[in-house]
Homo-oligomer: A and B are copies of this chain.
Amino acid sequence: MASIRKVKGGVCAPKQFRANSVSAGIKDPASKRLDLTLLISDTPCIASGTFTKNKVQAAPVRLSKKHIKNGDVQAILANSGNANACTGEVGMKDAIDSCSIIADELGLKTSQIAVCSTGVIGLPMPMMRIEPKLKLLSKKLSPKNGLDVAKAIMTSDTRHKESALSISCGKEKFKIGICAKGAGMIDPKMATMLCFITTDANIGKKLLDKTLKDTVELSFNRITIDGDMSTNDTVIALANGTSMKKEMQEGSATHKSFKEALGRLLLEMAKSLVKDGERVTKFVTINVTGAKSSKDAQKAAEAVANSSLVKCSWNGNDPNWGRIIHAIGYSGAFIHENRISISIAGIKACEKGLQSNFAMDRLRDKVSQDEFDIDIDLGINDGEYTVYSSDLSPEYVDFNRSEYAYWKQAKKDGLT
């Protein structure tokens, strides 16, 4: 039996990882908040990544995909405030230049640096403010700076998200660190926003790729905030192997404990993203069972998770099973209306397509809480799927009405 326990240090918890973050005023020159960060392993790494399935992909996504493919990425450079998306050749040049400045400073190849950006789409990067800071970044790298990586990648997040686990399995002992950012433009059809994973476990490229894909599928690919898939979603894992002499083998006890710990961390981050979604007040877990297939269960769960009207009702503490069943009806899943049962917060609200006899006041109290589950049984077969979703608030709409401030700054910067 492996023992898995929480440790401090975030992405710098595993051995040989160091980081540094600075303020470059990317979004707002007057702001002092951290918005540029560098995370490195002092020793060579196996690297793996999953990226947005959006066909419009930011320059850093396209570049990092290429670098990760080689598998020897050893550092991640990331910024918030500008997504470097829809910026054409200029954007790609900015991404490459940034990697190559960092590579020079660290004595690495440009292809060993991954780069990630998050923020507004369509405006060039303010390189006049970023470039002078890039050289500074590598000067004060420290294993104590894990927390600041999580802070520097925040956009509309209100809380930074990071975690780390220490795993003991037989004679092997290793750590995994993680940080992520989310908030808006979050939908489960792909990876996520930004998430960085570090580990000192010894794992090969192929197994890391597979393990990351499997665990992302059960975490970030199961969440939705607003149904909008980003152009910049990126998960990158760096494994420097410094805690283990021998490479772990697929299916071994060590690999099982690695996968369990990674899965736990990813799910923790994914749930944190939903809970800290833009102006979100509720965290709702939608469990669909009894579907014809897991694909059908997914269709039903995602339709409910993304229905504007269902999300509005959650915001209003309204246990509205009628809107839930209407979304199941148009989801494309195979259903018989008279076999569907729906429980809300553990109380059966709909039985075989009809309203059940429940205590409305008690149910309203339950859905007034910050978190509850919706259990939907389609009553057909054994297909299952779970999605983590949020409500839709008037404040979300208000918050997302305009990005004009970005344009005004870009104008001042002579970038538009």
Using a CB–CB cutoff of 8 Å, the interface residues on chain A facing chain B are 53-57, 85-88, 120-123, 184-185, 187, 189-190, 226-231, 306-309, 312-313, 315-318, 320-323, 325-330, 335, 337-338, 350, 353-355, 360, 364, 392-398, 400-404, 407, 411, 416
A312 to B320, CA, bound (A): 24
List chain B residues, Cβ under 8 A from A395: 394
What copy number does this chain have within its complex? 2
Contact (A350, B312) CB under 8 Å given A228-B326, A329-B56: no
List chain B residues, Cβ under 8 A from A54: 326, 329-330
A325 touches B86 (CB 8 A): yes
Contact (A318, B189) CB under 8 Å given A54-B330, A309-B226: no
Q: Which residue of B lies closest to A318 (CB)?
A: B402
A56 touches B122 (CB 8 A): no
Which of A312, A326, A335, A411 has the largest number of chain B CB atoms within 10 A?
A326
Which of B228, B322, B328, B416 touches A307 (beta carbons < 8 Å)?
A: B228
List chain B residues, Cβ under 8 A from A327: 228
Which of B229, B309, B326, B394 touches A85 (beta carbons < 8 Å)?
A: B326
B403 touches A55 (CB 8 A): no
B394 touches A322 (CB 8 A): no
A308 touches B353 (CB 8 A): no
List chain B residues, Cβ under 8 A from A321: 122
Which of B227, B312, B330, B400 touches A401 (beta carbons < 8 Å)?
A: B312
B230 touches A326 (CB 8 A): yes
B397 touches A86 (CB 8 A): no
